[in-house]
Amino acid sequence: MMTPEIWGSLTTALARLLIFPGLLFAVPAAWFFLWVERKAVARMQGRIGPPFMQPFFDFIKLLGKDSPQRTGVGGLLMKAWPLIAVSAAAGAVGLLPVLPASGGFQGDLILLLALLELPSICIIAAGFSSGSIFGEIGSAREAVLSVSYNVVFLLAILSIAASQHTFSLSALAQLPASPLRWLGILAILVCLPAKLHLNPFSLPNAEQEIYSGPMTEYAGPELAMWELSHGLEWVAATGLVATLIAPAFTLWWVAALVFVALSFGLVLLLSVVAAATARLQIDTTVRFYWQCTIIFAVLAIASALFMRLKA
């Protein structure tokens, strides 16, 4: 029997997934963030940049084009990967605890991490499924890059959860920030350019070397889905950091405005860094994350575990 408590939780979950911060907000925000990225890079390079609606127009144009005809299991997989990536990124956005009393459940942080990683896995699988040498090289780079930054990214998230004694996103958003939390946030920020394929870590889609990498054999609606997935990853990744940074608010509209403002600031910051840096080589990237950045994550999680044992 559907009790009022269960019905209320279900309604809240659907509202988060479909309205805010879910699809009704996330899809336009994805196009907006893609425009901010391209506009900021253009301004840093002395160019005018695209008009405001260009990412939306590109999406509609791709939907009207034909996709390459593929047969067999390989063809079905090529169509499935972008759809899975979009679904995972949209689900990750829907889990973000933006509003006060937004619900959630104990352990939803683990689900969020899994959903954030699925688009990267789909990109790797798509490149190897394409049969293109450029796609396979891009997927290999994506796999190496993913292993490199995810060690730091996951350790940083776990350190924040361990220091605040919870794996609930809503609880983390409501708790005051501690020094260890800020250390973990710093490690997450360093990982975001690699996760979003920005300079200096835009190795899987290096156009000058391997065309579009895993996306080389994609066109039409399938490529449109990949672009939407990338935009939703922007919303989910920057939104995660925004919810960890933002203080707790009792008014829903204040919490929403702060979330949007912080996410926009992070997009602008990452875009400026991307425009100001050049692409690194794959071995340099691996050394950067495993020899330099991992220090922040290890220090954070070691301190968190020490505090738990001491308590």
Report the chain's terminal Cα–Cα distance, integer Å: 42
> What are the angstrom distances between the C-alpha of 220 and each of 81, 175, 217, 234, 283?
14, 45, 10, 22, 34
pLDDT, position 135: 83
Decide: 232 and 86 in contact? Cβ < 8 Å.
yes
Supply the DSSP symbol for 65: S
pLDDT, position 17: 80
With a cut of 70, which residues of the chain have pLDDT below it? 1-9, 101-103, 204-212, 294, 296-311
Residue 107, helix vs strand vs coil: coil
Decide: 139 and 128 in contact? Cβ < 8 Å.
yes
Residue 96: which residues within 8 A CB-CB, separation 6 or more? 16, 21, 112, 169, 236, 239, 240, 243, 259
d(C-alpha 271, C-alpha 41), whole Å: 6
Short-list 83, 102, 106, CA closest to 232? 83
pLDDT, position 284: 81
pLDDT, position 31: 96
> What are the angstrom distances between the C-alpha of 60 and each of 64, 65, 136, 194, 222?
7, 9, 28, 27, 12
Domain parsing of the chain, residue ranges: 12-310
Q: Each residue of 237-295: pLDDT tens digit?
A: 999 999 999 887 878 889 999 999 999 999 999 999 988 887 877 788 888 887 777 67
Structure tokens at 221: 């609606």
What's the pTM value of the predicted model, to 2 decimals?
0.90
pLDDT, position 209: 57
pLDDT, position 204: 67
> What are the angstrom distances between the C-alpha of 24 and each of 7, 18, 178?
22, 6, 33
pLDDT, position 36: 95
The answer, yes or no, to whether the previous bond of 200 is cis (omega within 30 of 0) is yes
